[in-house]
Structure 1
Amino acid sequence: MRKGWKAFVLSVAMICMALVPASAQHAIEKQFQQWLSSDLWPEARARGIDERVFQQAFAGVKPNLKLPDLVLPGKSAPTGSEGQHQAEFRPPAAYFEPIGGIVSGGRARLKQYGAVLDAVEKRFGVPKGIVLAIWGRESGFGGAKIPHNVFEVLGTKAFLATRKAMFREEVLAALEMVQKRGVSPQAMRSSWAGALGQPQFMPTSYLKYAVDFDGDGKADIWNSVPDTLASIANYLAAHGWQKGRDWGFEINLPAHLSCTLEGPDQGRRIADWTAMGVTRVSGKPFPQHEMAGEGYLMLPAGRHGPAFLVTPNFYRLKDYNESDLYALFVGHAADRIVYGDIRFVTPWGKVEGFSRAQVAAMQKRLEQLGHDVGGADGLVSFKTRRSIGLWQERAGHAPTCYPDSALVRQIR
């Protein structure tokens, strides 16, 4: 069985860790302790953190060199990046393989926590299905193991990661959680990326969006289901979730409409899209209250898969996780949890035969030709998809707005 991407990144990091000599590890640990006392502590103190809190948080903490994206002293490349672009490109369909478990688990919890979900939806305006789908995706409804000490993870990354400044803010926010919110350092279990609890909030997000919904005086996103559900909904509401609007609809995209019309910067009223021939795959009309609202074409697999007309709420889901497929997974799972066994009508095409490195090379070439691909990262974002479509149109090909093995070789 193929390992998931997270497992792959961690396995690469563990191999790199094994290559670090014991003497070098000892030297890094010593430098880490010096950094804590002479660099991080003065800033923490200036932000109102007590020395007792600081010492308690970092008691026994050593840098975890198994984490990905670290730059070790004397090295110029991140420890987790050497194999990053060697991964086989995964077609979009693979992302939806675990959706059945999220749907069944969500339906069970819809019954179990119905009153809480109703109260959360009433207060924040975010549909209960969306909240359940995020809860399931992020932590398996609280059942996933969250194994790491957050101060070990964030301390290591603030000291050694490629994005030190970001993680420095996060570790200082984690200290503030202890100082001002009364969260026990021992309770602050996180993912390998430093995301906390059942909603998988970074510490800065916890400080902004975590909610005490069960009334016990603390926002407990590790153990309290009401606090977890309300915190997820509060995050989306604070980012601009539009109450009463859907997240999106699977559509039939007419052949005469170019796939290069995709993107949040090319929105039109849904009424205008229908005038251009866009229809729902279900055969139902778009809801009347949606017609005057803006909609955006979203083609996660270009012409090789289902097409969607999404609303601004789709991009609020992307605020939670900056991935088209994540937002689509959550929206689709939410529909199936609440409304029944709805499936994508258009099948996902089989797109295989190349690696992320090959995609990144193709992106660099498209950039050289003047296209905005959103960065040569080996990921096929909407900017990369429509850049491919524009290249295909200019080359006299029927645009698919998605790479295949032959196209990857052509655009080099």
Structure 2
Amino acid sequence: MRTIRHLALIVLFLVGLGGPVVAQSVERQFQAWLQNDLWPEAAANGVSRATFDAAFKGVTPNLELPDLVLPGEKPGGDAKQRQAEFGSPGAYFAEKTLGAVVAGGQARAREHGRVLDMVEKHFGVPRGIVVAIWGRESGFGRAKIPHDAFQVLGTKAFLATRKELFRKEVLAALQVVERGWASRSAMKSSWAGALGQPQFLPSSLLENAVDMDGDGRRDIWNSVPDTLGSIANYLADHGWVKGRDWGFEVSVPAALSCALEGPDRGKSISEWAKDGVTRVSGKPFPKAELDREGFLLMPAGRNGPAFIVTPNFYVLKDYNTSDLYALFVGNAADRIAHGGRAFQGKWGAVDKLLRSDVAALQRGLEGQGFDVGGADGLPGYKTRRSIGEWQARRGQAPTCFPSAALIKALR
């Protein structure tokens, strides 16, 4: 009995210590993982011992980063959505933010016109798109990017829910330093490990960065020409179709279901027009686009603007997987290049939901045979249209967007 009481006291003592004990344990495991697991693969990829040791000198895991799973724990799903791209749709398009990118982009398009002429000619990507991404990602290079890239990427490669993704990225970051493209001290990143003015993950830096100013370096930290050329090269490498727009804001007749949304349900833009889809500007669709494929996009279902987008929209989503991000860039690009205004459709209020709430809704839909694209708690197009199809089966007017009432009905 004394032994049991003694063990209980030890457990209570450790629990009382809490965070420090856990942190020290994770730190020991992290250092062992660096030396016994990551270093051999880094060496096999051509990284020197000196580069590796300099990269991780004094680095400890940052347990404040999101989406971590401590050793012995199971992944959770109840945290609020951290990225603005996946929050309330309307909030993402606040004119204070969007207008600043437009105004700053117009000024920089004039300032760097000669470089942008070269970029457009070489890569076929419009200057408005390139400058809008630059402004959105780093405030045209002015944003403070405070995190140590090796701490972020190392922590995530060791503890994140997507370890293999970040393992690839930390190995790529080591190669960036090994090749001399950046010094160890320059390797500052976002909380997700993105680098420089274009906010490239290290693997994208290796694959897509270009030397646009001809100095022999691919400098996405300090060189505006390299930054602009690298953004355009990324989009070109991911399939940007020269001469096509990204998309058009449209009005969708009430009789046309929002469940027709998605990149796998495309048809010619002339067919969408025959279905009654019209541009909100009142202009006809460009003649050059009529016989080409377009896709319905309703990111807030019937509770927000609607769009017919082209394959170039999905190239923008390769840069950032959010529909809202790609729409932000598209609208800002149009306004930088041609003037104009924000989207005309109004973003309605939506229920504040946890990712776990949306995941529960998705599991409910999956249980009834719907393809929601996985119960990840993020309302992508497969989830939105599945909601619309479920509502239509029940004789309801499809809204194609999660709500508290829908979650309750599907639990």
TM-score, shorter chain, exceeding 0.5: yes
Report how far residue 264 of structure 1 moved: 0.5
* Aligned 1:213-224 pairs, distance under 5 A: 213-224=212-223
Over the aligned positions, Cα root-mean-square deviation in angstroms equals: 2.1
* Aligned 1:271-290 pairs, distance under 5 A: 271-290=270-289
Whole-angstrom CA distance in 1 between matches of 2:181 and 2:110: 32
The code of the aligned residue for 1:139 comes to S
Aligned to 1:28: 26
Match of 2:93 among 92, 96, 99: 96
Whole-angstrom CA distance in 1 between matches of 2:340 and 2:390: 38
Aligned to 2:53: 55
Question: Is the CA contact 1:393–1:399 (under 8 Å) kept in the aligned structure 2?
Answer: yes
Residues 276/24 of structure 1: CA separation in 2 closer, same or farther (3 Å cut): closer
* TM-score, normalization by structure 2: 0.91
* Aligned 1:252-291 pairs, distance under 5 A: 252-291=251-290
Aligned to 1:43: 41
Q: Looking at CA atoms only, which structure, 1 or 2, has the larger radius of gyration?
A: 2
Whole-angstrom CA distance in 1 between matches of 2:354 and 2:74: 24
Whole-angstrom CA distance in 1 between matches of 2:17 and 2:274: 61
Aligned to 1:208: 207
Structure 1: stretches of 5+ with no match in the other structure: 1-17
* TM-score, normalization by structure 1: 0.90
Residues 379/160 of structure 1: CA separation in 2 closer, same or farther (3 Å cut): closer
The code of the aligned residue for 1:96 comes to F
Aligned to 1:84: 80
Aligned to 2:392: 393
Aligned to 2:408: 409
Report how far residue 124 of structure 1 moved: 0.6
* Aligned 1:6-21 pairs, distance under 5 A: 20-21=18-19
Whole-angstrom CA distance in 2 between matches of 1:209 and 1:87: 25
The code of the aligned residue for 1:83 comes to A
Report how far residue 19 of structure 1 moved: 8.4
Report how far residue 254 of structure 1 moved: 1.7
Whole-angstrom CA distance in 2 between matches of 1:144 and 1:301: 29
Whole-angstrom CA distance in 1 between matches of 2:378 and 2:17: 29
Whole-angstrom CA distance in 1 between matches of 2:36 and 2:245: 51
Report Cα offsets for 1:31-71 as digits up to 9, x if no partner.
Answer: 22222222211111112211111122222222222222222
More deviation, 356-365/238-247 = 356-365
The code of the aligned residue for 2:36 comes to S
Aligned to 2:114: 115
Question: Is the CA contact 1:147–1:189 (under 8 Å) kept in the aligned structure 2?
Answer: yes
Whole-angstrom CA distance in 2 between matches of 1:321 and 1:375: 19
Aligned to 2:72: 74
The code of the aligned residue for 2:79 comes to G
Question: Is the CA contact 2:79–2:356 (under 8 Å) kept in the aligned structure 1?
Answer: no
Question: What is the identity percentage for the equivalent residue pairs of Structure 1 and Structure 2?
Answer: 63
The code of the aligned residue for 1:63 comes to P
More deviation, 349-358/396-405 = 349-358
Residues 67/405 of structure 1: CA separation in 2 closer, same or farther (3 Å cut): closer
Whole-angstrom CA distance in 1 between matches of 2:313 and 2:291: 17
Aligned length in residues: 393
Residues 180/85 of structure 1: CA separation in 2 closer, same or farther (3 Å cut): closer
Structure 2: stretches of 5+ with no match in the other structure: 1-15
* Partner SS state of residue 179, structure 2: helix
Residues 311/38 of structure 1: CA separation in 2 closer, same or farther (3 Å cut): same
Aligned to 1:14: none
Residues 314/86 of structure 1: CA separation in 2 closer, same or farther (3 Å cut): closer
Whole-angstrom CA distance in 1 between matches of 2:247 and 2:57: 48
The code of the aligned residue for 1:270 comes to I
More deviation, 251-260/354-363 = 354-363
Aligned to 2:164: 165
Whole-angstrom CA distance in 1 between matches of 2:340 and 2:196: 30
